[in-house]
Homo-oligomer: A and B are copies of this chain.
Amino acid sequence: MKDIPLPTKRRLVLLERLLSGYKEKNITSQKIQELTGWTSAVVRRDISALKLNCGATNGYKVEELKSHLEKMFGEKKESLRCCIVGLGRMGQALLDTSELYDSPFKIVAGFDSSVNKTEVLSSSFPLHPTTLMKKIIHEEEISYAILTVDSDEAQPLTDLLIDCGIKGIVNYTPCVLKVPIEVPIENVSLLTALETLAIN
């Protein structure tokens, strides 16, 4: 998957989600353009990365396309365990993980440097002080971290997460995090998203 460009990966992730609710037998790149706003040329190029054998003359066979997309993600789609680091307003909003229901991702732990918060807040998974991070991440076999701490804590806790062997970070802080090349980051802070929109 390393050879597929990131924007293509992002669109294929969304395409899989789109098709999971699609009822027709075939779908054309033009139809996908209507449903998403990506141009049909972009759609055809993205799908060519999947190396399907069918042409696109009468559209793609939806079931075939789905199964290729599932296979593409499939190897990694056994239960992927995640933790939330930082239980401020954003972290608390993410404690309700209904969005991840029916996905391979499962949040199994939350961390905050304030013991007060970890004791008072309620969630469907255990909350711990950050001092226990290394132990819990190891024991719970956690692969991904969702970082929602204050800016001054972002880099120190990232360093700790890397040290714990975390495989990827969803960064809800506006900080530019320093990580090893092999650890992917998704920067999803509001500021980063708005700035990216504004230079489109």
What's the least CB distance linking A153 to chain B, in Å?
A: 14
What is the oligomeric copy number?
Answer: 2
Residue numbers in B under 8 Å from A195 (CB-CB)? 13, 73, 103, 105
Q: A120 an interface residue at 8 Å Cβ cutoff?
A: no
**Nearest-Cβ distance from residue A28 to partner chain B, whole angstroms:** 15
Residue tally, chain A, CB below 8 Å to B: 69
A186 interface contact, C-beta 8 A = yes
Q: Are A196 and B13 in contact (CB under 8 A)?
A: yes
Q: Which of A53-61, A111-119, A131-139, A175-183 contacts the other chain?
A: A175-183
Question: Is A99 on the interface with B (CB-CB < 8 A)?
Answer: yes
Asked if B190 and A35 sit within 8 Å, CB to CB, the answer is: no
Docked complex Cα distance between A39 and B38 (Å): 29
Q: Are B181 and A1 interface neighbours, CB within 8 A? A: no
Instruction: Check if A191 sits within 8 Å of B103, measured CB to CB.
Output: yes
| In contact, B14 and A198 (Cβ under 8 angstroms) | no
Chain B proximity mask over A6-18: 1 for CB below 8 Å, otherwise 0? 1101101111011
Contact B10 A196 (CB under 8 A): yes
Q: A193 in the interface, Cβ–Cβ < 8 Å?
A: yes
Please, how many angstroms separate the alpha-carbon atoms of A7 and B93 in the complex? 28
Interface status of A189 (Cβ within 8 A of chain B): yes
- The distance from the CB of A67 to the nearest CB of chain B, in whole angstroms, is 16
Q: State A22–B179 Cα separation when bound (angstroms).
A: 18
Scan residues 1-34 of chain A and give those whose CB is less than 8 A from a CB of chain B. Answer: 1-2, 5-7, 9-10, 12-15, 17-18, 33-34
